[in-house]
Amino acid sequence: MSQNFRGTYEHTLDSKGRVAVPKKFREGLLGLKDDYSGEELIVTFGLSGQLFIYSSDSFDDFCQRYSQLDGGDADLLDRFFCASARECQLDAQGRILINPQQKAFAGLEKDVVWVGQRGHVELWSASRWKEALDAVQKGIYLASSERLKDAYNRISFN
């Protein structure tokens, strides 16, 4: 399912590391359902210190797109995205559990922001999201590495 996500939603990470996925994003990622309990999302590292969230199918499609890249770029992206990917099941309240490694990578504490971004959703710490917005206004793209950013930019999303 090809979906363009948009909007930002402020939420809170609870003491167990669970966060509610906004209804609009649940519907876009998983389709319309009466009950999302047990449905699975893929959570992986993002390029700017955030987390990327995909449905299983859209993550597989994403990996297939970058596997077409020449040279070591596909391997580089695999080591970054696939190695950090975790399957997260939604509970009855529409929450997912973020594991400690991903929480640490993204600097997630209590206040978090869900962000719609093309064909995936992002989860940011509220403070990093503010820094990212400030950087964008200055024309700066925050990335964990220039090589990762360059490889990611060569993926065809058409």
pLDDT digits (tens, 9 = 90+) for 56-107: 999 999 888 888 887 788 888 888 899 999 999 999 999 999 999 999 999 9
pLDDT category at 144 given cuts 50, 70, 90 is low
Domains annotated on the chain, with CATH: 8-153 (3.40.1550.20)
C-alpha span between 126 and 110 (Å, rounded): 9
Looking at the chain, how many residues does it have?
158
Confidence of residue 135 (pLDDT cuts 50, 70, 90): confident
Instruction: Kindly state the average pLDDT of the residues 11-19.
Output: 96
Q: For residue 10, give the nearest of 136, 96, 124 by alpha carbon.
A: 124
Asked if 151 contacts 77 with a C-beta cutoff of 8 angstroms, the reply is yes
